[in-house]
Amino acid sequence: MDVLPKIQALRDELNQHNYNYYVLDNPTISDYEFDTKLKELQDLEAKHPEFFDENSPTQRVGGAITKTFETVQHEYRMYSLDNSYSKEDLLDWEKRAQKILGDVPLEYICELKYDGASISISYENGKLKRAVTRGDGFQGDDVTNNIKTIKAVPIKLKGDFPQKFDIRGEIILPFAGFEKMNQELIEIGETPYANPRNTASGSLKLQDSAEVAKRPLDCLLYSLIGNNLPITTHFEGLEKARQWGFKVPTQSHLAKNMNEVFDFINYWDKHRHEMPYETDGVVVKINNIHQQDELGYTAKSPRWAIAYKFKAEQVSTKLNSISYQVGRTGAITPVANLEPVQLAGTVVKRASLHNADQIEKLDIRIGDTVFVEKGGEIIPKIIDVDLTKRPANSEPTKYITHCPECQTELERKEGEANHYCPNFYGCPPQIIGRIQHFITRKAMDIEGLGGETVALLFNNGLVTNYADLYELKKEQIIPLERMAEKSADNMIKGIAKSKEIPFERVLYALGIRYVGETVAKKLAKHYKSIDAIASASLTDLILVDEIGEKIAQSVIEFFDNQENRLIIERLKQYGIQLEAIASADTTVSDVLSGKTFVVSGVFEKFSRDDLKKAIEDNGGKVGSSISAKTHFVVAGDNMGPAKLEKANQLNIPIITEDDFIAMIHG
């Protein structure tokens, strides 16, 4: 018998058994029979290496070692969801959608919100090509080898799948598997894991995929992404994904109206603890794909989806003391030190008190019995005080007046919730915090240098700002505590490599107040260099897309400071990228300069994303909604009636995609 057909038959059979067991939860053979067949396939593949296939079921046991996880750009950005905590929030969301779409009937998909690690998996020609973590939404880590070990993730699809698409989902760790892992750790005297979510997320970054294969991870998939997919509704997409071999949760429900959405929420708020894994809410999505396209996105979230968060668990415990932390911007954060208490799967010892107003509002005092919950099931916070248990000798809390680190008198600007230490260049936690922010992965990504090492360098007088990092010498580092020649070499190499980091991330790394990743990208794209930003006026900055007065004022104050200017001059001398690289500019022409376009409908010659890119590449701007500032609406089939009416009211020209093509080609 020819060996290749035998190998292929075993692969197909084992793939089907994996699907039956891990997706359908309906095994048709015993574990022993499965292992026997897997061993037979392993032996055949070992004898015939010429028939190696990276998608064989034998490769799911792992073994590939990944020293560093490659950062990969998402072809389709991974957005986060807006959260809601009441049914009124959901009704407001529905009204906002109706305002854009017009008076059209809406259907909703209700899905349980799983508490795990988000993943985007790419398939080409029915085979798993790549799996990437969410990261910052624009780019994430390539964890393909580790994802392949999860049996619920199909390596090879079946049925009428598209040639190319992405599917999004959540990597989760069921309670039973989590408890078993912890029991094994306890038995050998090791510290158990804190919670299933963090353990699932951490598993994806293990270097040895064989270790990942030992963990009982699962993958629940909930969204197809791609161009020209064979679906018209989200629900249809879920059904298609199931047919192709994906594990799609059966709890997903099609709701005809908001009352049915509320019924789904009410049911699962009571029954969520019956699920075998963590759920912290319900995701509600508009079902119609065309309506999703019409609604589009804000800077962070889709307008067609929202997360309803279940009320957080609460416990009571004693407030032992209040300490005050100083952040890198000088903001003071009061922290409650609590009698340790179990909450939502973790032991809580500390909780944020936010600011002086919150302490005064709740009249929180040391010795009080307080109610604690996890805000969004993540960050513990005090929500109330049990006044019936307050000690008789209790005294009101007096908020500190001076910095706990440098003793400088605190300031509180009008309209600000926080107190600040104004000793920007002399307060140790602020200095250390700014350098720690500078080296982070989303900023300069300096390998071989962590937060504790930054504090060590500062405390030994080797750095007082982030420019000092580029003057460090190996012989200065080796004598430090826990340092050796290899550690020093790695740090020096990591610092040198950071000179390749692109301008937009350098701008974020500088730590300008209110300038996060998104704002840094906007400023870098608009101004192209640090000098242009430094010389921009307040009015100029405010005119940049999505830059408000508060951000603009902060940028002005940063560059008005002489010490900041000196540090930037030093960074230039060290070769840091303080200008945008010209080759990264995809501009084709400026024929659409000064014109704002709104895209609506379905197109034949462009995908919506390609059409928007063509507008920007030719100097135009893409607007999310029609206003008096809109110059043209590019309309395809099924243009939203509300947009059509608005365009007509404002006398805005409506053009076809052929008109647009003629416009850019002159």
User: Do 275 and 165 share a structural domain?
Assistant: yes
Residue 112: name the closest of 234, 301, 272, 292 by CA. 272
Q: What band does 39 get if pLDDT is binned at 50, 70 and 90? A: confident
Residue 217 CA: distances (Å) to CA of 73, 141, 149, 600, 636: 25, 18, 9, 41, 43
Q: CB of 541 within 8 A of CB of 552?
A: yes
CA distances from 626 to 301, 306, 600, 644 (A): 19, 23, 10, 9
Residue labelled with tokens 């909703």: 108
Average pLDDT, the chain: 88
Residue 22, pLDDT score:
64
Do 496 and 513 lie in a common domain? no
The total number of structural domains that make up the chain: 6
The confidence score (pLDDT) of residue 58 equals 75
Cα separation of 390 and 411, whole Å?
Answer: 31
Residues 301 and 342 in one domain: no
Average pLDDT over residues 292-297: 90
Report the CATH number that the domain containing residue 558 is assigned in CATH: 1.10.150.20
Choose the final residue of a domain: 467, 500, 533. Answer: 500
Annotated catalytic residue within 113, 240, 247, 646? 113
- Per the listing, tokens 């799983």 go with 114
CA distance 515 to 523: 9
**619 in the Ramachandran plot: left (φ > 0), alpha (ψ -120 to 50) or beta?**
left
- Specify the CATH number for the domain of residue 199: 3.30.470.30
Q: The whole model's pTM is what? A: 0.61
The answer to whether the beta carbons of residues 382 and 372 sit under 8 Å apart is yes
CB-CB contact of 158 with 245 (8 Å): yes
Cβ atoms of 383 and 340 within 8 Å: the answer is no
Does residue 651 come out as left (phi exceeding 0), alpha (psi in the -120 to 50 range) or beta? left
Distance CA 449, CA 8 (A): 48
* Whether pLDDT at 399 is above 70: yes
Which residue has tokens 């508009």?
Answer: 286
Tens of pLDDT along 473-497?
Answer: 999 999 988 888 888 999 999 999 9
Domain boundary among 277, 309, 341: 309
C-alpha distance across the termini of the chain, in Å = 66
Q: Tell which residue, 353, 265, 285, has the closest CA to residue 85.
A: 265
Residue 660's domain spans which residues?
596-664
pLDDT at 376: 46
Task: For residue 309, say whether it is annotated as part of any ligand binding site.
Answer: yes
- Out of 191-205, 220-234, 327-341, 406-420, which region has the weakest mean confidence (pLDDT)? 191-205
Query: Is 80 labelled a binding residue?
Result: yes
Local confidence band at 585 (pLDDT 50, 70, 90 cut-offs) = low
Whether residues 490 and 540 fall in one domain: no
31 labeled binding residue: yes
Instruction: Dig out the tokens for 145 from the structure.
Output: 């080898």
pLDDT value, residue 44: 82
Q: Is 111 annotated as a binding residue?
A: yes
Q: What is the pLDDT of residues 62-121, one digit of tens each?
A: 556 666 788 899 999 999 898 898 899 999 999 999 988 888 899 999 999 988 899 999
Same domain, 118 and 260: yes
Distant-in-sequence contacts of 257-265, Cβ < 8 A, 24+ apart: 257/106, 257/108, 258/90, 258/91, 258/94, 258/108, 260/108, 261/90, 261/108, 261/110, 262/87, 262/90, 264/110, 265/87, 265/110, 265/308
Task: Tell me: do 198 and 97 sit in the same domain.
Answer: yes
What pLDDT band is residue 352 in, cutting at 50, 70 and 90? confident
pLDDT at 246 over 90: yes
List phi, psi (to 5°) of 67. Answer: -70, -45
* Cα atoms found within 13 Å of the Cα of residue 526, Cβ hemisphere only: 19
Share of the chain above pLDDT 90, in %: 50
Tell me, yes or no, whether 372 lies in a domain.
Answer: yes
Q: Which amino acid appears at position 514 of this protein?
A: Y
CA distances (Å), 399 to each of 353, 430, 605, in order?
11, 20, 63
Per-residue model confidence (pLDDT) at position 331: 87
Q: Are residues 513 and 496 in the same domain?
A: no
Is 113 an annotated catalytic residue? Answer: yes
Do 89 and 151 fall into the same domain? Answer: yes
**Chain centre distance of CA 579:** 27
Give pLDDT, residue 37.
Answer: 80
Q: What are the start-end ranges of the E strands in 35-94?
A: 71-73, 83-84
110 annotated as a binding-site residue: no
Give mean pLDDT, residues 163-184. 89
The helix-helix angle for 175-187 and 196-203 (nearest 10°) equals 80
Question: Is 72 within a domain?
Answer: no
pLDDT at 449 over 80: yes
Domain at 365, CATH number: 2.40.50.140
Question: Which pLDDT score is estimated for 418?
Answer: 87
432 and 535, same domain (yes or no): no
DSSP at 529: B
Amino acid 65: pLDDT: 63
What's the pLDDT band for 327 if we cut at 50, 70, 90?
Answer: confident
Residue 305 has pLDDT above 90, yes or no: yes
The CA distance from 16 to 14, in Å, is: 5
Residues 371-381 have a mean pLDDT of 70
Does residue 395 sit within a domain? no
pLDDT at 611: 87
pLDDT, tens digit, 9 for 90 and up, residues 1-13: 578 888 888 888 8
Q: Quick one: DSSP state of residue 29?
A: S
Residues 47 and 103 in one domain: no
Kindly state whether residues 561 and 627 are assigned to the same domain: no
Say if 381 falls within a structural domain: yes
Asked if the structure places residue 412 within a domain, the reply is no
Q: Are residues 219 and 102 in the same domain?
A: yes
Pairwise CA distance, residues 568 & 20, whole Å: 60
Domain end point (choices 484, 500, 516): 500
Is 413 part of a structural domain of the chain?
no
456-468, pLDDT tens digit by residue?
999 999 999 999 9
Long-range contacts of 654-658 (CB under 8 A, 24+ apart): 657/603, 657/604, 657/605, 657/606, 657/611, 658/605
pLDDT of residue 377: 44
Q: Is residue 509 part of a domain?
A: yes
229 located within any domain: yes
